[in-house]
Amino acid sequence: MPINILMPALSPTMEKGNLAKWLKKEGDPIKSGDVIAEIETDKATMEVEAVDEGILAKIVVPAGSQDVPVNQLIALIAGEGEDAKAVAVGGGAAAAAPVPAAAAPVPVAAASAAAPAPVAASAPAASGSRVFASPLARRIARQAGIDLAAVKGSGPHGRVVMADVEAAKAGAGSPGGARIIPMPGAAAPAPAPAAMASGPSADSVKKLFAEGSYEEVPHDNMRKTIARRLLESKQTVPHFYVTVDCELDALLALREQINKAAPVKDGKPAYKLSVNDMVIKAMAMALKAVPDANVSWTDSAMLKHKHADIGVAVSIPGGLITPVIRDACHKTLSAISNEMKDLAARAKARKLKPEEYQGGTTAVSNLGMFGVKDFAAIVNPPHATILAVGAGEQRPVVKNGQLAIATVMSVTLSTDHRAVDGALGAELMAAFKGYIENPMGMLV
């Protein structure tokens, strides 16, 4: 039976993608795990792996195609014992048929071409029995809390594939449907995104300017996603702001001392700390010191995180992306520095994996390198906070009743007031300021 390859949803916000390149051509053998194509998402360029084996019989969507909807058929694989040429000829009509609008935008690689597989009504496999399923099917089942032992596989040799799990999700409420079971760490369904306000039409705005006096640049997927998510945040999240000034002289002295002591490897220092690296560490340790602020708001409960995962805004052509430093409070400053440099470089090349920029428990946005004194950032759900960092600059301060000069940095914490109110935000900022002004505390 032919196997459909569908346009995958490689991030929660992806609705369309660009099929940048095919890495296999028609007639090539395909093995499970082979990288078959490159897809440009709203955040990065991702590699797509095949789940099943066979022959690439037909490429339905050619390389270079723009705005291909998630779950649209993009290629056909001839399964074991099938004639690839017959599949290519017979699959032409099916290829033109649009994917039903009800199809959920979930990560996919290769799925059965048959209609959604019937859900098994049988009891789950006996303890110790192995359930054969693709890694993608296992991940989706784990997120949805579905017992794979109760799902009948339609893939080669009865293997459970993504389409089977989707069918199980759709039929879970019907008699004989697959069991929904509580799974450790199963993710709660994401809330439906708010519709992006259309804003003024292009035609109405263009009438205000002389023809030829402007260049019209169409919105790409990243800019559309940023616009939708930030509008949703400002419309649905009650923002509250807390600003503090932090003296940096002790931190700058420690940074210089640490960088001078860096061992040299292959003619280069093993690390070179930036102020931003130390801000990341200080924010992570502040969240550990004030755990009630390390939270995410949901309609039914507060998610209180056990780790401080710090997203860091990185500017890339056309927008920005927020790679995440996981469990930053337990990492050394040198480890944070090297990890951040690697993530930023791959972010600008649009080579990050989804797990490297999704999630996080807060974020840091630093515009100090542009000379910005202070600003307020927009909370990016599911985060409840985001720290906006300004430039360190010499300012007059009063110490012991005497006027002095100090290097001062203004930082503003934006909070989701439902999760982090004013007093809690102030407590978090006091902890952050303490680590910045007494940076030796970050080394012990």
Of 43, 45, 94, the C-alpha closest to 73 is 94
Query: Angle between the 275-289 and 422-437 helix axes, to the nearest 10 degrees?
Result: 130
Of 414, 443, 214, the C-alpha closest to 330 is 443
DSSP for 43-96 reads S-EEEEE-SS-EEEEEESS-TTEEEEETT-EEEEEE-TT--HHHHHHHHHHHHH
Q: Where are the alpha helices (DSSP H) in 152-269?
A: 162-171, 202-206, 221-236, 249-260
Would residue 417 show up in a list of annotated catalytic residues for this protein? Answer: yes
Say how many residues make up the chain.
444
d(CA 57, CA 79): 9
255 close to 278: Cβ distance less than 8 angstroms: yes
CA 11 to centroid of chain Cα atoms: 6
3 close to 76: Cβ distance less than 8 angstroms: yes
Helix (H, G, I), strand (E, B) or coil at 260: helix
Give CA angle at 343 (342, 349), nearest 5°: 95
Q: Which one of the listed residues 157, 219, 330, 417 is annotated catalytic?
A: 417
Residues belonging to the active site: 417
